[in-house]
Amino acid sequence: MATYSTKIDILGSFAFIVFWVLAVFPTLPFLPIGRTAGSLLSAALMVLFQVVSPDQAYESLDLSILALLFGTMVVSVYIERADAFKYLSKLLSWKIIGAKDLICRICLVSAITSAFFTNDTACVVLTKFVVKIAQENNLPPLPFLLALASSANIGSAATAIGNPQNFIIASESNMSFCQFLSGMIAATVAGVFANALLILCMFWNLLSVANDENGYTYQFSPNDQENGVQTTSNGRISSEHDLPASRNSNLFEKWKGKFQKTCVYLIVLGMLIALLAGQDMSWTAITAALALVVLDFKDAAPCFDKVSYSLLVFFCGMFITVEGLDKTGIPSLLWDSVEKYTSIDTASGVAVVSLAILLLSNLISNVPTVLLLGYRMATAAAVVSSGNEKKAWLILAWVSTVAGNLSLLGSAANLVVCEQAHRAALPPLGYTLTFGNHLKFGLPSTLIVTAIGLTIIN
């Protein structure tokens, strides 16, 4: 077994602890610099402490993953401008027949949206609407917010573009989009169904009381005019075709807008077809983004301004930080001590490795866990068979993703829902999704859904 420098171990571990603390507590009173700056700080410490050289730091940056992230974020911006997410919101509210019906719709729409546009995007665009429809109908927001966040996390497991850790796994394992989808879709569908059933069981009485008190079919409010829907004096839903002729005078602009929206949807559909056909994911996303820029025929700066560059910078710092931690040899030593118990061709081995992924994903976050364990798990599994190697990557993708549902801090999507719910709730106070009420649902949901998915993947 190799011997590692004690000094490098200590300094590298210290730099990683800086990364972890600022990632979990980004507004520390004595260092309130945020997650992105904390990631850069820990990366700089890795270089200053000579845990990694400057060249090694640059080499650790995975440009294919960064390009895929950038491309999908640009595509999401243009999809939002084409009102796709507003149509999803209208789908959620169309002829709702009760609180339980709304729960099922949220689980389904959230899962599908996150699979193709990332879980964070799904939570950003749907949280405000979910809170609004719950409060306007005197429904408790908690079960609906839990349904949104948990289904977004589970649904994102289905595709290689559903979340950042899947980006990494697909890149490192050389799995195509279609191979990844075929390996994960059955587990994801079962997981979303089981998660929705668990929410209904846990909140059945609460949702039943809400139904008895309301007994409603959702009616659009005046606020829905923001989405292009207006209510006439007799309560009938009117569209732009019912408006006075003066509002439709510029037919050219009207049809130009519809044409551009149609082209946006066709380009996105073409991107998905190209991914299913096995084309390079990063360049497919970049190509789709550039096609949308050219189609828009305007200065792309406003759209590029909506890209989360802070997330890209955070990933750069994280890549360097995890590379530095790996250089200390500590992850290798820990893996060597448990490797004999983690053979994924046995049920006990799958259980042990899944528990390790689950704990690490909630302690150091799922993306660093994937970076640290991915290659080691795949190498150990490949000794048995090439089929086991692919299964190891799929197990890692499944468990690290579902692990995000365990606690409020387990996934960025959970934090997005928490923050957006607090801002979107009606006066006088915003709704706060607490650590405790999330854990009460998150713990059983994570264990049950993880176990179901592992059985199907096996």
Using a cut of 0.85, tell me whether the model's pTM lies above it. no
Please indicate, yes or no, if residue 354 is contained in any of the structural domains: yes
Separation CA 115–CA 323 (nearest Å): 28
- Residues 36 and 122 both lie in one domain: no
Separation CA 225–CA 327 (nearest Å): 56
Q: Is 401 exposed, middle or buried (0-12, 13-18, 19+ CB in 10 A)?
A: buried
pLDDT per position as a tens digit, 155-187: 999 999 899 899 899 988 989 899 999 999 999
Q: Which domain range does residue 172 map to?
A: 96-217+342-458
Write down the pLDDT at residue 378.
87
Please indicate, yes or no, if residue 82 is contained in any of the structural domains: no
Q: Are 369 and 356 in contact (CB under 8 A)?
A: no
Q: Tell me how many domains the chain contains.
A: 2
Write down the pLDDT at residue 242.
45
- Residues 366 and 447 both lie in one domain: yes
Separation CA 458–CA 453 (nearest Å): 9
Per-residue pLDDT at 137 exceeds 90 = no
Please indicate, yes or no, if residue 25 is contained in any of the structural domains: yes
Ramachandran angles phi, psi of 164, nearest 5°: -60, -40
- Residues 109 and 212 both lie in one domain: yes
pLDDT, greater one: 240 or 331: 331
Nearest to 126 by CA among 383, 413, 385, 389: 413
- Mark which of 292, 327, 362 sits at the end of a domain: 327
Please indicate, yes or no, if residue 122 is contained in any of the structural domains: yes
- Mark which of 327, 357, 377 sits at the end of a domain: 327
Q: How many beta carbons lie within 10 A of that of residue 446, not counting itself? A: 26
Q: What percent of the chain has pLDDT over 70?
A: 86
Per-residue CA distances from 376 to 49, 196, 320 (Å):
26, 34, 18
Please indicate, yes or no, if residue 402 is contained in any of the structural domains: yes
- Residues 45 and 113 both lie in one domain: no
Write down the pLDDT at residue 311.
80
Write down the pLDDT at residue 450.
95
Q: Are 39 and 23 in contact (CB under 8 A)?
A: yes
- Residues 48 and 149 both lie in one domain: no
Per-residue pLDDT at 233 exceeds 60 = no
Please indicate, yes or no, if residue 311 is contained in any of the structural domains: no
- Residues 44 and 101 both lie in one domain: no
Separation CA 335–CA 342 (nearest Å): 9
pLDDT per position as a tens digit, 94-120: 777 788 888 999 999 999 989 988 888
- Residues 138 and 30 both lie in one domain: no
Write down the pLDDT at residue 344.
83
- Mark which of 327, 351, 376 sits at the end of a domain: 327
Per-residue CA distances from 309 to 73, 170, 305, 313, 418 (Å):
10, 22, 9, 6, 22
pLDDT per position as a tens digit, 397-441: 999 999 999 987 677 778 778 777 776 655 544 466 777 888 899
Q: What is the DSSP letter of 5?
A: -
Q: What is the mean pLDDT of residues 138-156?
A: 91
- Residues 113 and 170 both lie in one domain: yes
Q: Which residues pair with 230 in a beta bridge?
A: 238
pLDDT, greater one: 334 or 159: 159
Q: What is the mean pLDDT of residues 76-80?
A: 87
- Residues 164 and 208 both lie in one domain: yes
Q: What is the mean pLDDT of residues 61-82?
A: 88
- Residues 112 and 207 both lie in one domain: yes
- Residues 124 and 40 both lie in one domain: no
- Residues 349 and 394 both lie in one domain: yes
Per-residue pLDDT at 385 exceeds 80 = no
Contacts of 289 (CB under 8 A, 6+ apart): 70, 71, 74, 75, 78
Please indicate, yes or no, if residue 272 is contained in any of the structural domains: no
Please indicate, yes or no, if residue 293 is contained in any of the structural domains: no
Confidence of residue 15 (pLDDT cuts 50, 70, 90): very high
Separation CA 192–CA 457 (nearest Å): 15
Radius of gyration of the chain (CA): 23
Write down the pLDDT at residue 405.
92
